Structure formats: C-alpha cells, structure tokens
Amino acid sequence: MTALDVAQQPTRSESAPGDTEDAGREPTRREARWTAISLIALFVGMFLSQKIAGRFAYSNIAQVISLVALLVAFPRAVRPKDVAWVLLAVGGVLVAAFSVYNTYGYQFQPQHTAFFLATCTYLVVWYRATQMADLADVAERAVRKTIVPVFAYLAAQGVLDVAGGLAWTDLGFDDKSHGAVACVVLAFLCLRLLHSPLKLPLSGGFVLLSLLTASRLPLLAAPFFALAFMFEYRRQRRLADTPLKVYLCHTTLALGVGAVIAILRANWDSFHVFTRIGPEASASAQSSTESHLLLISYGLQVKFENLMNFLFGVTPGGYAGTVYRSDVDISDLRGGGGIAAIVDGTAPMHSAHASVFVEFPFPVAILYFALLLWLLVGLLRRNEITLALLLVGFVAVTTLYSSHNEIFFFATLAILMVEASRPRDVPVGEGAESADGSRATMRLRT
C-alpha cells in the first residue's frame, strides 16, 4: 500500500492552488498524498511508545514526520495570526514557568512544552488545511487501509500476553489504560468508516481487546458504543439492496455478537476487568479509584491557590511538582503508591481535561474546551451520530485518564476535526451513502 493508493486520484489537478479557502474543493494529488502520509504516520506512531532517551520516544519521531508531511501538503496553511496565537501561548507558559519557580522553586519541564507545541501546531495546520480542501475522503481511506492491520497487531499482542500467563495485557502500549482507550477509539472508527458488514464483529473485537487490559475505562464508553453499534447496524441494513445483502447483514450481526459472547464465557478468567467493578470489587481497585479522584482534587486546589496559577497554569507536566511543593494537603494519598510519583514529579493528574485546565494558561484551556464543543456541534449538524458518540465517549474516558500527552489523543481529534469541517451535504435518497458505502451527495455551499 502507498499513500498514493490511499489518495485515489483526487479530481483537482496538481497545479490547482492550495492556498485559497474553498473547503468544498477536492485536494490536489500532492495534497492528498502527503495528507495520507501525515495521518498514517500519526496512527503508526501511537504504537511506538518505547523510549529512546528520557521522555523522548519513537512516537515523537513519527509525530515530527507527520507534521512535516502536513506542511509539505499545505505549505501556506499557517497564517500570521496563527503564529501570533501560538507564540502568545508559549509566552504564557514561560510566564507560568517563572511564576512556579518563584513561588514553589519548581523548574518546568521543557520536553513537555515541546511536545504540546508540536501537537498544537499540527492541529492548527490541520484545521487550516480542512478549510482549504475537503480532506474527509482522504482521511477515511487512510483509516480504512490501516485499521485491519492494526487489529491484527493488537490481537497478536493480547493473545501472546494472556497465553504467557499475564493477568492482563497492555497490547504493546506503555500503559494498559493507554491501550484500552486506543482500542475504544478504533472500535468507533471501525463502525463508522468501514463499509462492509464485517465492521460490526471487527468493532466488537476491538472492544474485547480493550477489556483484556483490565482497565475500567472502556466501561465508561460502553453505553455510547452500544448506541453507535445499533445505529451503524441500522445504517448497514438500510444500505442492503438485495435479499443476499440483507441476509449477510443479519448473519454477520448474529455471528459477531455470538462470537463475542462465546469468547467472554469461555475465557471469563482472562477478563479481570469484571473483578474490578461493582460492590465486590477488590480493595486495590477501589483504592485506585479514590486515588485518581484525589489527584484531580489536588490539581484543582493548586489551580486556585493563587491568581498566577489560575491565569497562566502550572506549566505543561508541572502538576505533580507544584502540588508537592504547594500548601495542598496530600496526606490522604500517603498510604498509597501515588505519593512516590508526586514526590518524583511524575504523577499524572489522571484526567486529560482537568490537566489542560490546571497546567495551561487559562485562554489555552478555554480554546481547548471550545474545540470540543465545536466538534460536537459540527458532527451533529452533519448527522455524524456515530462520530458524535465517539467524541462523547472519548471525553468521558479521558476525564479519568491523562491521555492528552499521547499521540492517539491528537490523532482522534484530527479525525473528528476533518469530519466536523466537511461541507454540509444533502443525502440523495434514503441514506447518506450508496449501497457500496460511498457518499452520494449534493453539496450545499454555506
């Protein structure tokens, strides 16, 4: 597979201008090719969490490649006001660094700032690119080309770990919750972006893999996934235009659900997540939940400890270091292992959204929450119910997990952003897609 295969011959010629705002136009071949490379690098990079030196990992190399490829695709995407806003954000972080050093004696971690600067730049360029051309088809093809090999890789990792006697698997990620949340996102993307009825059992397979990690986070997204599953089943059934396709759709659903239930029953002892929920949950599981809530509480306390913390944050990655040196009482955590991580300055806040609010300047946090709201409104306006449910489920699980410092977090936002930016379409006929899954639409210029 090549990126040009993913691009699949956009209608615009190579010489078409790439610096005009026309979100309805097709991307040029160059734009489509390099956009596909950028997105594939981002998705591949989320599996490369192995560290090279300190916090620098192979995934950061993929992150740089992804950003460079996107800039090659859209070299004139960034505007002077975008640069000004990014520089203002960096300036706010530097003010915060001076403030926390002066108040707590804490030295900020520049590697965290460098990571978020790269990701912020990527999302800015990505947003501008979606305003210059309709990149949704290119992004969807890139995901469809990679999602089955990704499932095979994750399944192999999970089976090898469980067969080797491990109580749970991290699926090759650096943390089991990291792997669990990534599988949840992939399950939703599988439901929406694949066109075959096989997407139903394949998405169920991603859910099973997420449960093998023993993380309880997938259970938070379960209600939203169930709604999305039924919605996509009805969509697939509506697109079945022959008796054979109808039969295939029903059979696939029955076999897929049956297989998931059979696997759960036959390997119940391998899914330790079910021992970590309910009134009979183990003491360690209950302690873990309490610790996570305490960590979030400590972060909110330090955010409101003084005006500078509230306006400028405590610097990216500065949560643990400032909490330990502040007047926040962390004695309730001293009985657990979390206190050591706070002393070392490595403890996460265990909430992506709370971390953005506490660690970053207030305007940056406001822009971040505005982005989430804009995505939800944009997806609902375009009748992307499954992706809207993905966004809500994603926000739910990352409320109790600090995934904002992972590549897959921003890959997910990028996919949702390109769909929310797509020109609004008027479906032809009953569904928004034809029988072969392609979009048959008329464009509305708004």
pLDDT digits (tens, 9 = 90+) for 98-145: 999 999 988 888 888 999 999 999 999 999 999 999 999 999 999 998
- Under the banding of pLDDT at 50, 70 and 90, the label for residue 432 is very low
- Minimal CA–CA distance to 390: which of 355, 423, 414? 414
Q: Is the pLDDT of residue 67 over 90?
A: yes
Q: Is the pLDDT of residue 158 over 70?
A: yes
Q: Is the pLDDT of residue 309 over 80?
A: yes
Alpha-carbon distance of 48 to 57, in angstroms, equals 7
Q: Quick one: average pLDDT of 370-396? A: 94
Q: Which of 45-54, 220-229, 412-421 has the lowest mean pLDDT?
A: 45-54
Instruction: Report CA 25 to chain centroid distance, whole Å.
Output: 27
Alpha-carbon distance of 343 to 58, in angstroms, equals 27
> Which residues, in sequence order, are CB contacts of 97 under 8 Å at separation 6+?
107, 108, 315
The pLDDT score that the predictor gives to residue 336 is 52
Q: Quick one: average pLDDT of 372-381? A: 95
Angstrom distances, CA of residue 445 to CA of 24, 127, 250, 370:
8, 19, 38, 24
The pLDDT score that the predictor gives to residue 228 is 92
Domain presence at residue 187: yes
Q: Is the pLDDT of residue 59 over 60?
A: yes
Strands 56-57 and 425-427 come out as unpaired
pTM of the model: 0.83
pLDDT tens for residues 81-104?
999 999 999 999 999 999 999 999
The pLDDT score that the predictor gives to residue 5 is 52
Domain presence at residue 85: no
* 17-23 long-range contacts, CB within 8 A, separation 24+: 18/73, 18/74, 18/75, 18/76, 18/132, 18/133, 19/76, 19/77, 19/132, 20/132, 21/131, 21/132, 22/132, 22/133, 23/130, 23/131, 23/132, 23/133, 23/134, 23/421, 23/422, 23/423
Q: Is the pLDDT of residue 42 over 80?
A: yes
Q: Quick one: average pLDDT of 213-238? A: 84
pLDDT tens for residues 328-364?
888 777 555 567 777 777 778 888 999 999 999 999 9
Q: Quick one: average pLDDT of 301-322? A: 92
- Minimal CA–CA distance to 10: which of 31, 27, 30? 27
Domain presence at residue 377: no
Q: Is the pLDDT of residue 180 over 60?
A: yes
Q: Are 93 and 117 in contact (CB under 8 A)?
A: no
Neighbours of 59 (CB within 10 A): 22
Q: Quick one: average pLDDT of 294-307? A: 91
Residues in a beta bridge with 439? 433
- Average confidence score pLDDT of the chain: 80
The pLDDT score that the predictor gives to residue 92 is 94
- Under the banding of pLDDT at 50, 70 and 90, the label for residue 160 is confident
Q: Which two tokens stand for residue 102?
A: 């002066």
More confident residue, 227 or 339: 227
Domain presence at residue 166: yes
The pLDDT score that the predictor gives to residue 431 is 39
Q: What is the dihedral of CA 124, 129, 134, 139, to 10 degrees?
A: -70
Domain presence at residue 416: no
pLDDT tens for residues 398-415?
998 888 888 889 999 999
Q: Is the pLDDT of residue 315 over 90?
A: yes
The total number of structural domains that make up the chain: 1
- Minimal CA–CA distance to 412: which of 433, 382, 392? 392
Domain presence at residue 222: yes
Q: Phi and psi (nearest 5°) for 51? A: -80, 140
For 399, counting Cβ atoms within 10 Å of its Cβ (0-12 exposed, 13-18 middle, 19+ buried), the class is middle
Q: Quick one: average pLDDT of 224-234? A: 87
Q: What percent of the chain has pLDDT over 70?
A: 76
Q: How many CA atoms lie within 13 A of 413 on its CB side?
A: 24
Most confidently modeled range among 174-188, 271-285, 307-321, 396-410: 307-321
pLDDT tens for residues 243-277?
666 666 667 666 666 666 665 555 555 555 555 55
Q: What percent of the chain has pLDDT over 90?
A: 37
Range(s) of the domain holding residue 164 = 139-275
